[in-house]
Amino acid sequence: MYRTHILVCGGTGCHSNNSGKIREAFEQQIIERGLDKDVCVVGTGCFGLCAVGPIIIIYPEGAFYSCVKVEDVPEIIEEHIVKGRLVERLLYHEKALGNVAVKSLAETNFYKKQTRVALRNCGVINPERIDEYIARDGYQALIKCLTELEPQQIIDILKASGLRGRGGAGFPTGVKWQFAKNQDNDTKYVCCNADEGDPGAFMDRSVLEGDPHAVLEAMTIAGYAIGSHQGYIYVRAEYPIAVERLKIAIAQSREYGLLGDDILGTGFAFDIELKLGSGAFVCGEETALMTSIEGHRGEPRPRPPFPAVKGLFAKPTILNNVETYANVAQIILKGADWFASMGTEKSKGTKVFALGGKITNTGLVEIPMGTTLREIIEDIGGGIPNGKKFKAAQTGGPSGGCIPAEHLDIPIDYDNLISIGSMMGSGGMIVMDEDNCMVDIAKFFLEFTVDESCGKCTPCRIGNRRLLEYLDKITKGQATLQDLDDMEQLCYYIKSNSLCGLGQTAPNPVLSTLRYFRDEYEAHIKERRCPAHVCKNLIQYKITDACKGCSACSRKCPVSAISGEIKKKFDIDQTKCIKCGQCIATCRFGAIIKE
């Protein structure tokens, strides 16, 4: 037994900031000091508070060290491990509490309002060791299913729990499994959608990196429930850490008799294979994903028939995303009532969100459904940095909508988000402040969907490109008010006539910003002005009377648009200015403004 455990975050964010080398430094120091019999170093998945990584947690004290560097390791070993004294300068400081040092994760506002179900093992166990997952009740749900429950009982438990798909549409998981079970076919498939393509989303990646066995166990349970013997995980090739840990987990599960033929001596056979995606956003759509697994170009297929009837290789198939599967084993072990006790009437359980954008605590959070947007942003997220005002939050990725400040107190669930013109999506949440132009935001997301369209159907392929042209005209000050009406009409046409969910939801960012920020659109058109000073064609840089005549801006200007005499006010020739911003970045006196 080790008296001390040093947990080092091994998620992608911390890994990119040298957490791997930090772990190696700890291991080397411990061996050199002869502490290896008392101290154990554990590489974990993501702790969630990505803004202050790399994170180190030392137990039994629970000391929470943030922004750790390789050169800090000797001091932590000497002071904390050898002398038993906390390294105060490296402890996480909670700004909301007056920038005081926080000595454990549980003390932080970031974690207080969270309820971790899907993320329960992330940052707690070594995801590359199956024994640590088993020690946390891992595979107990599978054993219960294979030895105590009939397939229909499993599906009934999921139905009673109210678990809805966490991939975006929110379809009831138990109902989907029931459809597939009811099909009379000797061959069925279980698929996992780990092709997380939304900008700013990293929920599924973090679960795979921190707790891969939770997904494998749930997929095996799904196989038993519907009568399938083969599963596929479709994962982004751009997730190398997740892919590697999945490979390790699958190999370990086979070794322990938890995958393969005759699982646990019950006679049930089920195996899982990885399929790597190539970064096509459209392959997040279920039929396109299955087409890609089959070896064809990832394009959606018309529905019906739905995948539960005719899916992968034309056989009955269920497809759920990573987060959905991460809830299954806990529901089987703790019961439907336990899960249904969390959340709202129509949206049970918890939801994982990836907080990004203009927010203090960027990272991964899991909250009960029904938590308000204000609680997520102000309490858990720590508010908007630099004293700026909250303007909007984009949920649902490029297919979602922008939620304005007037809806900060709305409880977050599937139905409420749809009612205000947004959607849950997979769980990305990008926060924007007063410096963001909402027209530019809509344009950004539409550029993404236009680029990612598979081109199979005309409404999406051509319609969204026309929509982008309208937005481009608006940001350049070349549009008319009639263009707004025409653009809105086109949005509804695209939504009604596109083949798959990508095209049907692509206009959402445009429609939601038109709904809540129409005044910004009109300012771009009527006044040829961008209120947020973002759209380059609609802004001017001007030198005020605060100019000292130092000539620094003139010397930095790449097109010689600034002229004047030393110690006198300089001027900008607007006909030459390319609006690069070099002048305002150079001025030390705050004498240059944007209008």
What per-residue confidence (pLDDT) applies to 169? Answer: 78
> In whole angstroms, what is the distance from residue 251 CA to residue 245 CA?
10
What per-residue confidence (pLDDT) applies to 96? Answer: 64
Q: Which two tokens stand for residue 337?
A: 């009532």
What per-residue confidence (pLDDT) applies to 345? Answer: 93
Per-residue pLDDT averaged across 7-35, rounded? 95
Confidence tier at 67 by pLDDT (50, 70, 90): very high
Of 106-110, 223-227, 374-378, 575-579, give the lowest mean pLDDT range.
106-110
C-alpha 562 chain-centroid distance:
44
Confidence tier at 425 by pLDDT (50, 70, 90): confident
| Domain locations in the chain as residue ranges | 4-107, 130-339, 350-433, 438-526, 540-594
Q: Is 170 helix (H, G, I), strand (E, B) or coil?
A: coil
Confidence tier at 373 by pLDDT (50, 70, 90): very high
Question: For the chain, what percent of residues have pLDDT higher than 90?
Answer: 85
**CATH match for 4-107 among 3.40.30.10, 2.160.10.10, 1.10.357.10, 3.20.20.60:** 3.40.30.10
Q: How far is CA 356 from CA 324, 383, 384, 427, in A?
A: 22, 12, 11, 11
> In whole angstroms, what is the distance from residue 186 CA to residue 167 CA?
28
Nearest to 351 by CA among 404, 393, 395: 395
pLDDT digits (tens, 9 = 90+) for 128-162: 999 999 999 999 999 999 999 999 999 999 999 99
Q: How far is CA 224 from CA 147, 227, 367, 480, 505, in A?
A: 11, 5, 30, 59, 34
Confidence tier at 461 by pLDDT (50, 70, 90): very high
CATH of domain 130-339: 3.40.50.11540
What per-residue confidence (pLDDT) applies to 197? Answer: 80
Question: For the chain, what percent of residues have pLDDT higher than 70?
Answer: 99
pTM beyond 0.85: the answer is yes
Whether the upstream peptide bond of residue 54 has omega within 30° of 0, thus cis, is yes
Looking at the predicted structure, is the pLDDT value of residue 426 above 80?
no
What per-residue confidence (pLDDT) applies to 199? Answer: 81
Q: Is 98 helix (H, G, I), strand (E, B) or coil?
A: coil
> In whole angstroms, what is the distance from residue 535 CA to residue 475 CA?
6
Per-residue pLDDT averaged across 175-197, rounded? 95
Element (H, E) at 27: helix 19-32
Per-residue pLDDT averaged across 192-217, rounded? 93
CATH of domain 540-594: 3.30.70.20
What per-residue confidence (pLDDT) applies to 18? Answer: 95
Looking at the predicted structure, is the pLDDT value of residue 10 above 80?
yes
What per-residue confidence (pLDDT) applies to 241? Answer: 96
The count of other CB atoms within 10 Å of the CB of residue 550 is: 16
Looking at the predicted structure, is the pLDDT value of residue 242 above 90?
yes
Confidence tier at 97 by pLDDT (50, 70, 90): low
Confidence tier at 98 by pLDDT (50, 70, 90): low
What per-residue confidence (pLDDT) applies to 87? Answer: 95
What per-residue confidence (pLDDT) applies to 340? Answer: 97
Q: Do domains 4-107 and 438-526 have the same CATH topology?
A: no
CATH of domain 350-433: 3.10.20.600
Q: Is 253 helix (H, G, I), strand (E, B) or coil?
A: helix
Mean pLDDT estimate for the chain:
94
pLDDT digits (tens, 9 = 90+) for 381-411: 999 999 999 999 999 888 889 999 999 999 9
Looking at the predicted structure, is the pLDDT value of residue 264 above 90?
yes
Looking at the predicted structure, is the pLDDT value of residue 94 above 90?
no
The domain made up of 438-526 is a member of CATH 3.50.30.60:
no
pLDDT digits (tens, 9 = 90+) for 265-279: 999 999 999 999 988
The count of other CB atoms within 10 Å of the CB of residue 441 is: 24
Residues 6+ apart with CB under 8 A from 57: 6, 7, 47, 63, 64, 65, 105, 123
